[in-house]
Structure 1
Amino acid sequence: MRVELQDISKRFGTVQANDRISLTVEAGSIHGLLGENGAGKSTLVKILSGFITKDSGRLLLDGRETEIRTPADAMKVGIGMLHQDPLDFPPLSVLENFMVGKSGSLLMARSRVVRQFRELAAQFNFDLNLYAKVGNLTVGERQQLEILRLLSLGVNTLILDEPTTGISAAQKDALFAAARKLADQGKSVIFVSHKLEDVNQLCDRLTVMRQGQVVGNLPVPCAEAELINLIFGHELAPPVKPPTQRDQIALDLENVMLISDRLQIRIDRLTVNQGEVVGLAGLEGSGQQLLLQLCAGLLKTPTGQICVNGQNLTQQPYPAYLNGGIGYSPADRLREGLIPGLTIQEHVALRTPAKSWFIDWKDILDKTQRSIALFNIRGKPSSTVERLSGGNQQRTQLSLLPVPLNLLLMEQPTRGLDIESTLWVWQQLIARCEGGTTILFTSSDLDEIMQYSDRVIVFSSGKMSQPIDASQLTVDRLGQMIGGRFDALLNADSPPDYPTPEIAKQSTKQNVMG
């Protein structure tokens, strides 16, 4: 289906989210929509999919002008959207979720629905258990289920909104293969992303947005430098972290245990120095999050001791860790780091120590305005956090961390952020290190771990390596270690057996929980 958007505009209060946007998506093509966080991409596709109504402009489908005011309107004309966090019902089974939205009797022939599901799943090589609870699926599997459901409802234009955040390399390959198959069938695919490598790998053509406007329409592939200039209007330079002077121990773990229902890892001794950055690498659920939670006081160890800046915090309650200058920034910003429904100003109020029974809202407003300016948050004190873009949610979360901190623990500090926001986050983190803060962080991006870490700890198959100087590692060797080859450093010249370096590198780019 050919989709034409002509002069689409949308304003939220004083913010012009879309300003006379025009683009055309040809039938049988994959069209990329690229831009920094907050550029207006999500607003535009939500207008097309009926989740937001436009203020002005025209929408043409195969040359016929169409009005879309609700998601049901969009589905009727063959437009469906796969959200970054799929819209499903976790307590229900895969089959029950697949049936959502289908017309007909509640007692529709179960065998017919099962047959349709299996035929579609086989067509796209999706391996899903019909009777598994959706709440037990990975993000990638939930995406596959939602794609099958939308296709079964007759979708001819599929919108993929930041779909590669939090999925494994194999799931990403399956997703891209499905998108190409849909294009081969004459359907149109709109791929929303801020990842340059993804759009160059998948798309036929792309539209670049900046500050609510279209700034470029280009064929693919494109030169990375050209795309960066279009997206941000200027070149980007990564921050440089000076070498750490390792002369004072900031974190000292001795004879502690990391315990979950699936893992049990013993740490005989681990010391991290003041101002040092230690990257934690590994596949999802390998123990990285357990280590961060232990150091944050959210997880207890039955043995050993935990010392931060010489203070013994073993078995102390969580407030003792806060008072010890320890900050924790979780990966899931809206579920664990921020509170949906509350404004930026209300978050600042929660983080400000109370001096009396009453809140000085004028003082809180002043602090909020300073934070917004300092962290370049695109929002107002009255903005609720769920209305902010991913990058601005992360900036807000960082602004709430106390200054100074002795130890900063971060899960996926740049997940879902565009290049400029990623560099900005690391500028802030490096500045904290120079002030004496020690950082432990997880990342699903091996390049990020290699670039910013002084030392790296690898988690694999219930094991944890000793800290390794980043200068001794390459991305290939790190990938081999994540795959279970802890001897990769000793056999640096030998070819990898499992996984291969590229597979190892890509397989870690998933939703690493710890």
Structure 2
Amino acid sequence: MNVELKNIHKHFGNVHANKGINLSIPSGSIQGILGENGAGKSTLMKILSGFIQADPGGEIILDGKPVVIHSPADAIHVGIGMLHQDPLDFPPMRALDNFLLGQSGGLFPNRNAVARDFRRLAEQFDFSLDPDSYVDSLTVGERQQLEIIRLLWLGARVLILDEPTTGISASQKSKLFVTLKKLAGQGMTVIFVSHKLEDVEHLCDKVAVLRAGELVGEAKPPYTTSKLVEMMFGKVITLGARQPAQGGNAVLSLENVSLEDVRLKIRNADLEVRAGEVIGLAGMEGSGQGLFIRACAGLVRPVGGRIILNGRDMTGKSYHAFKRAGVNFLPAARLEEGLIPGLSLTDHFILAEEPDGLFIDRAIGQRLAEERIKSFNIRGAPHTPVESLSGGNQQRAELALLQDPLSLVLLEHPTRGLDIESVIYIWGKLKERCRSSTAIIFISSDLEEILQYSDRVLVFFSGKVSRPLDAGKTSVDQLGQLIGGKNWADMGEAYD
């Protein structure tokens, strides 16, 4: 299906999110949409998929015919489906029940026939999905696969994917790319929205670049990375040199710590983290690093061993006790765990401060919000609801909520879904804290990020924890091998 967007504008109050965008996408191609966080990529795709409506005056044309799309149901009716960065599914329900969502045909579908269609589509794309499994037991990559076959079953001929490689493993990304190329080969139109240059360069037949709501340029292979970066940001961006820690006194000590949840066990882990040091945690999703970092925050109690914070035994203490002792934890799920949808930036900054008396002083909260917004370069106003911010600005808002001073900051995927400029900015802010003797432990699925910003790295594999590795002497390939379970014998003793 050929897709044409003509003169698309979108305002959110005073914010002009899309500015007269014109774009043509031929059938059977993979079109990349590239841009920094807040560039207007997701807004444009939500207009095309019916989640929001454009301002009057624009047109959406499919195979030469203008269409009017008021809702996602309208979009799927004309053949457009969208896979969101955070899959829009129901985790407590079975995969087959989620597969049925949006289907027309009455209250009592033929579940046996639907299950046959489910298995046929899953087999066609080599997806290992069980229709009877619960969605909350699936990985992010498997939830994406479920949504892809659901949209195809509903009749999508245009498939939009918003930041689809965020939070999935390398093997899942490879399978996703094979699937998208197969779909394009079958005549489908694939629109791939991303800020990751390497993904777009590897996959896409053509790339459109958005900046500050405008379409600033298009490119075809062979791509020049520096040119794409310059179009995205209006300037050349570089990561800069690594900044190793000087190392201070011990902030956190794990002594022979054992942890358990329903799926895995970690046995007899030891670690000493020093002031100003950054420790990266690498591993496939569900390998134990989430359990480990939550134990360091007081959210998971160890079944053995001791956790020492600044010389004080914190074993078995609550999250609030850890927080009072100078530990802050920022989870990966920003709107589920880190921020409160419906509340403004001002509300969040007021709640994050220690209360001063019985009553809230809104004027002080307003001034505090203005200061933090300016200091952390958040694209929003004090009254802006956090759910309306882009992913990068939500992450900046979370960082702005951190207390000061802190002994230890714990971060889950601190730059997930962010463009390179936002990554550099956020790590600049975190490294400022390191220079003030704050230690950092963070989880990331981006191996280059781990090696760039860590002083030492722990690798997790099925509950095993490696000895700390010197990040400056470790390569991406070595890290990838360990994450995949290879070469552990060469590591010497590991904790398991």
Normalised-by-shorter TM-score class: over 0.9
Matches within 5 A, 1:35-54: 35-54=35-54
Aligned residue identity for 1:406: S
Structure 1 counterpart SS, 2:103: coil
Q: 1:181 to 1:338 in 2, by over 3 A?
A: same
Q: 1:356 to 1:244 in 2, by over 3 A?
A: same
Quote the residue 2:296 is aligned against: 295
Quote the residue 2:379 is aligned against: 378
Residues 378-416 of structure 1: CA deviation (Å, up to 9, x unaligned): 111111111111100100000000111111111111111
Quote the residue 1:342 is aligned against: 343
Q: 1:187 to 1:118 in 2, by over 3 A?
A: same
Aligned residue identity for 1:27: S
Name the CA distance, whole Å, in 2 between partners of 1:462 and 1:91.
26
Matches within 5 A, 1:207-222: 207-222=208-223
Structure 2 counterpart SS, 1:413: coil
Aligned residue identity for 2:216: V
Quote the residue 2:306 is aligned against: 305
Aligned residue identity for 1:40: G
Using the size of structure 2 for normalisation, the TM-score is 0.95
Quote the residue 1:160 is aligned against: 161
Quote the residue 1:508 is aligned against: none
Name the CA distance, whole Å, in 1 between partners of 2:275 and 2:180.
47
Quote the residue 1:502 is aligned against: none
Name the CA distance, whole Å, in 1 between partners of 2:298 and 2:141.
31
Quote the residue 1:466 is aligned against: 467
Name the CA distance, whole Å, in 2 between partners of 1:80 and 1:186.
15
Which segment drifts farther, 186-195 or 301-310? Answer: 301-310
Name the CA distance, whole Å, in 2 between partners of 1:421 and 1:226.
18
Q: 1:259 to 1:105 in 2, by over 3 A?
A: closer
- Contact map agreement 2:250 2:275 (CA 8 A) in 1: yes
Which segment drifts farther, 226-235 or 474-483? Answer: 474-483
Quote the residue 1:394 is aligned against: 395
Structure 2 counterpart SS, 1:181: helix
User: Post-superposition shift, 1:316?
Assistant: 2.9
Q: 1:321 to 1:411 in 2, by over 3 A?
A: same
Quote the residue 1:440 is aligned against: 441
Matches within 5 A, 1:277-292: 277-292=278-293
Which segment drifts farther, 29-38 or 275-284? Answer: 275-284
Quote the residue 2:195 is aligned against: 194
User: Post-superposition shift, 1:337?
Assistant: 0.8
Percent identity of the aligned residues?
54
Structure 2 counterpart SS, 1:304: strand
- Structure 2 gap ranges (5+): none
User: Post-superposition shift, 1:28?
Assistant: 0.9
Q: 1:227 to 1:265 in 2, by over 3 A?
A: same
Which segment drifts farther, 479-488 or 209-218? Answer: 479-488
User: Post-superposition shift, 1:169?
Assistant: 2.3
User: Post-superposition shift, 1:7?
Assistant: 0.7
- Contact map agreement 1:477 1:488 (CA 8 A) in 2: no
Q: 1:266 to 1:343 in 2, by over 3 A?
A: same
- Contact map agreement 2:34 2:207 (CA 8 A) in 1: yes
Which segment drifts farther, 72-81 or 107-116? Answer: 107-116
Using the size of structure 1 for normalisation, the TM-score is 0.92
Quote the residue 1:503 is aligned against: none
Q: 1:59 to 1:89 in 2, by over 3 A?
A: same
Matches within 5 A, 1:38-437: 38-55=38-55, 56-267=57-268, 269-437=270-438
Name the CA distance, whole Å, in 1 between partners of 2:99 and 2:250.
54
For the aligned residue pairs, the C-alpha RMSD in angstroms reads 1.7
User: Post-superposition shift, 1:94?
Assistant: 2.1
- Contact map agreement 1:241 1:430 (CA 8 A) in 2: no
- Contact map agreement 2:269 2:465 (CA 8 A) in 1: no
Name the CA distance, whole Å, in 2 between partners of 1:92 and 1:302.
32
Aligned residue identity for 1:90: P
Residues 230-259 of structure 1: CA deviation (Å, up to 9, x unaligned): 000011122445332234212122232222
Quote the residue 1:13 is aligned against: 13
Structure 2 counterpart SS, 1:158: strand
Aligned residue identity for 2:477: D
User: Post-superposition shift, 1:473?
Assistant: 1.7
Name the CA distance, whole Å, in 1 between partners of 2:285 and 2:135.
18
- Contact map agreement 1:35 1:41 (CA 8 A) in 2: yes
Residues 454-475 of structure 1: CA deviation (Å, up to 9, x unaligned): 1111222322122122233222
Quote the residue 1:26 is aligned against: 26
Q: 1:408 to 1:108 in 2, by over 3 A?
A: closer
- Contact map agreement 1:258 1:287 (CA 8 A) in 2: no
User: Post-superposition shift, 1:125?
Assistant: 1.8
User: Post-superposition shift, 1:320?
Assistant: 2.4
Name the CA distance, whole Å, in 1 between partners of 2:109 and 2:277.
61
- Contact map agreement 2:33 2:209 (CA 8 A) in 1: yes
Name the CA distance, whole Å, in 2 between partners of 1:334 and 1:181.
34
- Contact map agreement 2:169 2:285 (CA 8 A) in 1: no
Residues 396-449 of structure 1: CA deviation (Å, up to 9, x unaligned): 000000111111111111111111111111111111111111111111111111
Aligned residue identity for 1:309: N
- Contact map agreement 2:210 2:232 (CA 8 A) in 1: yes
Aligned residue identity for 2:414: P
Which segment drifts farther, 38-47 or 269-278? Answer: 269-278
Aligned residue identity for 1:36: E
- Contact map agreement 2:280 2:458 (CA 8 A) in 1: yes
